[in-house]
Structures are given as structure tokens and as C-alpha cells.
């Protein structure tokens, strides 16, 4: 079969790209997924994700205004349901200055961010204690992303395009692009690679730039109000990025979500079976120690989820044409913060594949930062 465009990988970025390509009128389109849709082996499963404006680099603060104000509302309209559930967000910890500096560089959000003394914040956001936070930022642009429902909305729009259990084993570049898969050969004019932590299997040249990192996620029963609107989304900014934690209110499953943001060059195996059994002692201790220092009252670990990041050393995404062949576009290295950007990254990858550039001046302004040329090596 010959396609105008093939998207490789049906995680949130592949789904978002295929959705944008379909909206651009690309009919001969295929979205190939090595497992079944919605599997739990990659980076996009789970009920919830955080969206926010607060970032430690101002380009993301700026881009989030486009994503929050225009792109997610367009998806919600098409889905006929809310996909973002507004919820205050708090940012705190010894590394908070990183966020304060970048927020100051984007004046349009300043009215939506409050800066509190820890004592005032502890009064407003139980059970948080803020023992090691010079200041606490309250971000009123935050929301809980209904991640699972977003994936299902997009998959519903692409029913006739998704091919499950179709694993691409090699990419050959000739007059067309030839994909060797476990279900036979596929030919296409354009290819978008959104293969998550498996990207370096197909594009080994990216090994110096990308590292897969296993993530442990805990769900805690607490003796405080825990639902959306009662409990914040939050980010604890550690001294270094790799010592940061984050969490969300109870959403579509029991327990408030808590995890460490594991961003280093770990190089974990993406084929490692990810389970839902309560984690090894080390991971459990890390989460329980955090709770013991940062929260008042009781908190009991009642649930667990495993997941995986694809880390770049700057935590910047790669959204660019493949240097060796501009018929191939790559979206990779989402470093544990890509879900909220999916309406943007999907449109960017689709437009780069069709037109070679995007129709988004807000993105074009920062495009160089997401290029292969800017991608640093670990
Ligand atoms: C625990 C956790 C918490 C997170 N929290 C947040 C958050 O609060 N906010 C936020 O914005 N982001 C968050 N993220 C990050 C976000 O979820 C990811 O950036 C995003 O899901 C990456 O999606 P992806 O489509 O690039 O990768 P994936 O979801 O991994 O998708 C890649 C797909 O490609 C398929 N594939 C790979 N190789 C092949 C092949 N050869 N042939 C066919 N198919 C193939 C895979 O099976 C997979 O389905 C979090 C991530 C994790 C793990």
C-alpha cells in the first residue's frame, strides 16, 4: 500500500499529528502502532496530566499561552467535552527562582500568577507545609488534562487510519520511503516519526541525544479534600531538575497522584514490562519520604503506575526535519512534559511534513530551539 503520509507511533504525539494531517485533508494517511491502541508500555497512558504556564524557561511560558487560549479549546470543541479541568497550580521548593525568572519574562501571564509567603500558602493549600520554599507561586492557568479521554477522542477521529500491532522494523529511503513492518512493506511520500522511547531503535543517530527513563507514579489516600477544585496540581522544584516532584488531585481513579520527575540520562529499556504492582522499596521510600517532609496528616500509598520518559539533556523537544532527508519529520525527546503541548506539536509536525514550515508565528519565533542543530548530546 502507498500512502501520502505515514505517522509512526500512536502515543499522544502520533495521534495529534495524524489528527492534524487529516484536518489538512491528507486522505492517504496511516498511523502505525506496534502494540494495541492505549497500551501501557509507553509515555502517554494514565488518566491525568498537568498543564501549566509556569516553566523554568520563558519560551515554554510563551508557547503555553497559544496552547491554552487557542489550541486546546479547538480540541474540546471538536470533542464536544471538556478535556482540561481548571485547577489552581502551586510551584514551590528550593529551586523556585528558576520559575520566577522565566515568568517575569512573559508579562501577559503576570496577572495570572500569585506569589505567596510559605505560611500564607500553607493556610490556603492543606496539607502542604512548604518547609524549604522561599516563596510559593500560584498559577491560575493550570488544569488537569483528561489524558485518557483526550487519547480516546483523537483515536475516535482516526478509526480508519490506525493500524495496530504493526511494528516498523526499518526505514529505507529511495524514490519513496519504504517501511519494512511485521505486516509487510509500506510505501509513503512523507513520514513522521513519533516513536517515543523507541525512537533510537529506528534512528540510531539520535542515541547521543535521547535517553529513556523509567518513572514510578504513586497514588495516595490522604485525610484532606483531594478532588479537582479541592487539591492543587503542584510542582516541587528541587535544587536540580532531577530532584523535582509533581502531583495532581484525585481524577478518575482513587488517590492523589505523586511522582518524582526523573530527568537524567538513565538509558532504561523501553521493552521492560511496565506493571501496576506497588514499586520496589527504593521508589516507594522516595515518595513516602517526600510526603513525610512536605505534607501534614496521614497519606497511604494505595495505587501505582509505571511509565517512561524520553529525555534530552536540556528537556527541550526535537521537532524538526530529519537532517539526512527532509521527507522525514521527527518529534522526540518530550522529557516528561509533552502531553500538554500535543495540540501544538501535532500541528507543527503535520505542517512541517506537508509544507516544510508552520503557520504558527508563535512557534516559528522559537523554532530553532527545537531543531536538530540545537539538540545537545548527553
Ligand atoms: C509518569 C508521567 C507523567 C507525565 N506527566 C506529564 C504532565 O503532567 N504534563 C505533561 O504535559 N506531560 C507529562 N508527561 C509527558 C507526556 O506524557 C509525554 O511527553 C507524551 O506522552 C509523549 O508521547 P509520545 O507520543 O511522544 O510517546 P509515546 O506515548 O511513548 O508513543 C510512542 C508510540 O510509538 C509506538 N512505537 C514505537 N516504535 C514503534 C515502531 N517501530 N513501530 C510502530 N510503533 C512504534 C509505541 O508503541 C508508542 O505507542 C508525563 C509522562 C509520564 C511518563
In the chain, which stretches have pLDDT less than 70?
274-280
Whole-number pLDDT of residue 15 = 98
d(CA 193, CA 14): 8
d(CA 335, CA 341): 12
Ligand 1 centre from 107 Cα, in Å? 31
d(CA 327, CA 213): 29
Distance of CA 121 to the CA centre of its chain: 28
Ligand 1 centre from 215 Cα, in Å? 12
Whole-number pLDDT of residue 299 = 95
What are the backbone angles phi and psi of residue 187, rounded to the nearest 5°? -110, 140
Whole-number pLDDT of residue 204 = 95
Please give the grid coordinates belonging to residue 309: 520518559
Whole-number pLDDT of residue 277 = 61
d(CA 224, CA 230): 9
Work out the widest C-alpha separation in the chain, in whole angstroms: 65
Ligand 1 centre from 123 Cα, in Å? 36
Whole-number pLDDT of residue 201 = 96
Q: What is the value of pTM for the model shown?
A: 0.97
Whole-number pLDDT of residue 266 = 86
Ligand 1 centre from 41 Cα, in Å? 9
Whole-number pLDDT of residue 241 = 78
Please give the grid coordinates belonging to residue 137: 507561586
Whole-number pLDDT of residue 280 = 67
CATH numbers and ranges of domains, the chain: 2-44+149-207+315-370 (3.50.50.60), 78-144+210-311 (3.30.9.10)
Q: What is the pLDDT of residues 177-235, one digit of tens each?
A: 999 999 999 999 999 999 999 999 999 999 999 999 999 999 999 999 999 999 999 99
By most ligand atoms within 8 Å of CB, the mutation choice from 196, 268, 332 for ligand 1 is 196
Whole-number pLDDT of residue 275 = 61
Q: What is the pLDDT of residues 263-278, one digit of tens each?
A: 988 889 999 876 666 6
Does any ligand 1 atom lie closer than 6 A to the CB of residue 142?
no
How many Cα atoms are found within 13 Å in the side-chain-facing hemisphere of 275? 4
- Closest Cα to atom 51 of ligand 1: 336
**Contacts of the segment 197-206: beta carbons below 8 A, 24+ positions apart:** 197/42, 197/43, 197/268, 197/270, 197/308, 197/309, 197/310, 198/9, 198/34, 198/270, 199/310, 199/330, 199/332, 202/8, 202/168, 202/170, 202/171, 203/322, 203/330, 205/324, 206/318, 206/330, 206/332
What are the backbone angles phi and psi of residue 42, rounded to the nearest 5°? -105, -135
Question: Which residue matches cell numbers 492517504?
Answer: 28
Ligand 1 centre from 32 Cα, in Å? 14
State the sign of the Cα–Cα–Cα–Cα dihedral 293, 294, 297, 303. negative
Does any ligand 1 atom lie closer than 6 A to the CB of residue 233?
no
* Three-state secondary structure string covering 288-327: HHHHHHHECCCEEEEEEEEEEEEECCCCCCEEEEECCEEE
Whole-number pLDDT of residue 106 = 87
Amino acid at each position: 500500500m502507498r500512502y501520502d503520509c505515514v505517522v509512526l507511533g500512536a502515543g499522544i504525539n502520533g495521534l495529534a499529528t495524524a489528527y492534524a494531517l487529516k484536518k489538512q485533508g491528507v486522505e492517504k494517511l496511516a498511523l502505525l502502532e506496534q502494540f494495541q491502541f492505549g497500551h501501557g508500555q509507553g509515555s502517554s497512558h494514565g488518566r491525568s496530566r498537568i498543564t501549566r504556564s509556569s516553566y523554568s524557561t520563558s519560551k515554554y511560558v510563551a508557547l503555553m499561552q497559544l496552547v491554552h487560549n487557542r489550541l486546546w479549546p479547538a480540541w474540546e470543541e471538536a470533542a464536544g467535552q471538556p478535556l482540561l479541568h481548571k485547577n489552581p497550580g502551586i510551584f514551590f521548593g528550593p529551586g523556585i527562582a528558576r520559575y520566577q525568572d522565566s515568568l517575569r519574562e512573559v508579562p501577559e501571564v503576570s496577572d495570572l500568577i500569585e506569589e505567596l509567603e510559605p505560611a500564607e500558602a500553607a493556610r490556603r493549600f492543606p496539607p502542604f507545609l512548604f518547609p524549604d520554599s522561599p516563596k510559593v507561586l500560584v498559577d491560575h492557568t493550570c488544569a488537569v488534562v483528561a489524558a485518557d479521554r483526550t487519547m480516546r477522542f483523537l483515536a475516535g477521529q482516526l478509526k480508519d487510519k490506525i493500524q495496530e500491532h504493526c511494528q516498523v522494523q526499518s526505514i529505507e529511503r529511495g524514490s519513496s520511503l519504504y517501511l519494512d513492518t511485521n505486516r509487510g512493506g509500506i510505501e509513503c511520500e512523507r513520514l513522521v516519526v513519533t516513536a517515543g522511547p523507541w525512537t533510537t531503535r529506528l534512528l540510531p543517530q539520535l542515541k547521543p541525544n535521547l535517553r529513556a527513563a523509567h518513572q514510578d507514579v504513586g497514588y495516595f489516600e490522604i485525610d484532606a479534600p483531594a478532588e479537582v477544585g479541592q487539591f492543587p496540581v503542584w510542582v516541587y522544584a528541587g535544587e536540580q531538575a532531577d530532584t523535582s516532584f509533581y502531583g495532581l488531585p484525585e481524577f478518575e481513579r482513587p488517590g492523589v497522584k505523586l511522582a518524582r520527575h526523573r530527568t537524567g540520562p538513565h538509558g532504561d529499556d523501553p521493552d521492560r514490562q511496565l506493571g501496576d504492582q506497588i514499586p520496589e522499596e527504593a521508589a516507594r521510600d522516595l515518595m513516602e519520604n517526600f510526603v513525610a517532609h512536605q505534607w501534614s496528616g496521614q497519606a497511604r500509598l494505595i495505587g501505582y503506575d509505571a511509565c517512561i520518559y524520553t529525555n534530552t539533556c536540556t528537556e527541550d523537544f526535537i521537532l524538526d526535519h530529519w537532517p539526512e532527508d527532509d521527507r522525514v519529520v521527527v518529534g522526540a525527546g518530550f522529557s516528561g512534559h509533552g502531553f500538554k503541548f500535543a495540540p501544538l506539536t501535532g500541528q507543527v509536525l503535520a505542517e512541517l511534513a506537508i509544507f516544510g514550515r508552520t503557520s504558527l508565528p508563535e512557534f516559528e519565533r522559537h523554532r530553532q530551539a527545537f531543531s536538530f542543530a540545537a539538540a545537545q548530546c548527553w
